[in-house]
């Protein structure tokens, strides 16, 4: 598949967006009974001590190495951070969440209340460690392991649009187009809770992922409409503009016919 763009630029955008999101108001790690979950949530001081600990620095270093196209060096750092966070935070009988904002925290505690299960919400680094591990594994072409890492990140951060989009990207790599569309749709819904600094980028990323899947599923009109929605939010987005030109060529040549996989088209890894 020829979709995925050069990683240097993509990882630069990814690192910036993740750092912005991590700097958003963070929750304080706290166990609350499910029946009191939403009432007990409150913001923690920012930045938190978690931002400055050794594990957070490992994650940041791993992201920098991925940006420098050194995923093999990044992977052990991310893996070490995952192991340490699991030791520190995982508790029997308690649902662990990793949140980047108070809004996400309230959503997770509400989810725990619905399940009548105690929950503890931590800052963004626990989930980000798994996500970084998955990102490095994709670069190393270890897709099944990357899928597992992203799934673990999503269990910790089920309303994180960035994580959901990257999981949809895995489905696209494996040409599971319906699953990819559904995952990107989840990412679009979750983007309503995204921090303001990254809300537009995460929303448009989800829309582009849905559109790409729609092309492969044969619905060019739906794909076009999704890219137009993305451009309404970000008129300068080159990826959606290029993809719209590609869709127009397909429609002129053979309307309603599914695009063959061999067609040249814009490449995208993440945004």
Closest CA to 112 of 96, 130, 88, 90: 96
CB 153 within 8 A of CB 127: yes
125 vs 85: CA distance, rounded Å: 8
- In the 8-state DSSP scheme, what is residue 78? H
Tally of residues, the chain: 271
226 vs 240: CA distance, rounded Å: 9
Q: Quote the pLDDT of residue 195.
A: 95
Q: Quote the pLDDT of residue 208.
A: 98
Residue 189, both tokens:
């819904």
Q: Quote the pLDDT of residue 253.
A: 86
CA distances from 224 to 219, 246, 253, 267, 269 (A): 9, 10, 16, 17, 20
Query: What 3-state class would DSSP assign to 5?
Result: coil
Q: Quote the pLDDT of residue 35.
A: 44
153 vs 147: CA distance, rounded Å: 10
Chain Cα centroid distance, residue 6: 18
Domain definitions of the chain by residue range = 1-159, 176-271
Average pLDDT per run of 10 along the chain, which is 271 residues long? 41 58 52 45 45 87 96 98 96 95 95 93 97 98 98 98 98 97 98 96 98 97 98 96 95 64 52 39
Q: Quote the pLDDT of residue 271.
A: 39
Q: Quote the pLDDT of residue 17.
A: 60
Closest CA to 220 of 171, 253, 176: 253
Q: Quote the pLDDT of residue 164.
A: 98
- Is domain 176-271 annotated with CATH 1.25.40? yes
Q: Is cis: bond before 47, omega within 30 of 0?
A: yes
88 vs 50: CA distance, rounded Å: 12
Task: Read off φ and ψ for residue 260, nearest 5 degrees.
Answer: -70, 150
HSE-CB at 12 with a 13 A cutoff on CA atoms is 5
Q: What is the pTM of this model?
A: 0.83
| Calculated CA dihedral for residues 116, 120, 121, 126, nearest 10 degrees | -120
Task: Name residue, tokens 């050069």.
Answer: 6
Q: DSSP string spanning 110-177?
A: HHHHHTT--EEEE-THHHHHHHHHHHHHHHTT-HHHHHHHHHHHHHH-TT-HHHHHHHHHHHHHTT-H
Chain Cα centroid distance, residue 18: 9
């Amino acid at each position: 598949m020829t979709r995925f763009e050069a990683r240097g630029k993509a990882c630069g955008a990814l690192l910036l967006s993740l750092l912005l999101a991590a700097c958003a108001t963070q929750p304080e790690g706290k166990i609350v009974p499910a029946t009191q979950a939403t009432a007990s949530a409150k913001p923690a001081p920012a930045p938190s001590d978690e931002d400055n600990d050794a594990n957070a620095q490992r994650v940041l270093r791993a992201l920098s190495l991925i940006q420098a196209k050194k995923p093999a060096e990044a992977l052990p750092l991310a893996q070490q951070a995952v192991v340490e966070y699991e030791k520190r935070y995982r508790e029997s009988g308690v649902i662990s969440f990793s949140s980047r904002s108070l809004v996400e925290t309230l959503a997770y505690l509400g989810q725990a209340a619905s399940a009548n299960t105690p929950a503890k919400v931590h800052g963004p680094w626990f989930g980000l460690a798994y996500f970084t591990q998955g990102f490095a594994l994709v670069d190393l072409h270890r897709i099944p392991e990357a899928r597992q890492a992203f799934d673990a990140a999503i269990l910790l951060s089920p309303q994180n649009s960035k994580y959901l989009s990257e999981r949809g990207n895995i489905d696209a790599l494996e040409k599971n187009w319906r699953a990819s569309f559904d995952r990107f749709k989840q990412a679009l819904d979750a983007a309503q809770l995204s921090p303001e600094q990254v809300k537009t980028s995460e929303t448009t990323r989800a829309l582009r992922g849905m559109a790409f899947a729609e092309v492969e599923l044969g619905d060019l009109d739906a794909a076009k409409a999704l890219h137009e929605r993305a451009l309404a939010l970000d008129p300068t987005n080159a990826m959606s503009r290029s993809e719209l030109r590609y869709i127009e060529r397909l429609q002129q040549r053979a309307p309603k016919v599914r695009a063959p996989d061999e067609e040249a088209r814009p490449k995208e890894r993440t945004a």
